[in-house]
Amino acid sequence: MSNRKETPDVLGEILNATPTPATTAPAAIPVKLASAPAPRPRTAGARASSGVNPSKTKRSARPSQWEYMSVRFRDYRGWRPRSVDDRELPGWKEGPLIQEYLNQLGVEGWEMVGIVSKGRSERDAYFKRLKG
């Protein structure tokens, strides 16, 4: 273990702002501060050489197509969906509570992208999903 190469403490230098000694090479400071996606686990047949899947290097000629939906929730004995895309739901007062409704939308592939307050008793929620 005494033959181990001495490496500079890059993180310590960044956090403590200590200068790098002249005998060690300066380390590259990463420019991108956002967290990178976690690496995918390798499958048995995956290539180990470059880590690049050649079938995924070409971009699709057509970008992803999304569909959108807006849902107005109303506080009536609990939050309930009142209208979808500005069409009032029949019998909405007896309809499902927000948790049940959101779970069903998730099963159908909808993802909530935003919610806006429309006063004390109404909220507009916006959803998207890939067109199928």
Mean pLDDT split into 10-residue runs, the chain, 132 residues: 64 58 43 48 55 57 88 96 97 96 96 94 96 85
Three-class secondary structure of residue 20 per DSSP: coil
- Does the pTM surpass 0.75? The reply is no
Name the token pair of 90: 């029949």
Q: Which residue has the tokens 């273990």?
A: 1
pLDDT score of 80: 97
Which residues, in sequence order, are CB contacts of 121 under 8 Å at separation 6+?
A: 74, 75, 76
pLDDT score of 58: 59
Name the token pair of 26: 């300066």
Name the token pair of 122: 């109404």
Which residues, in sequence order, are CB contacts of 88 under 8 Å at separation 6+?
A: 82
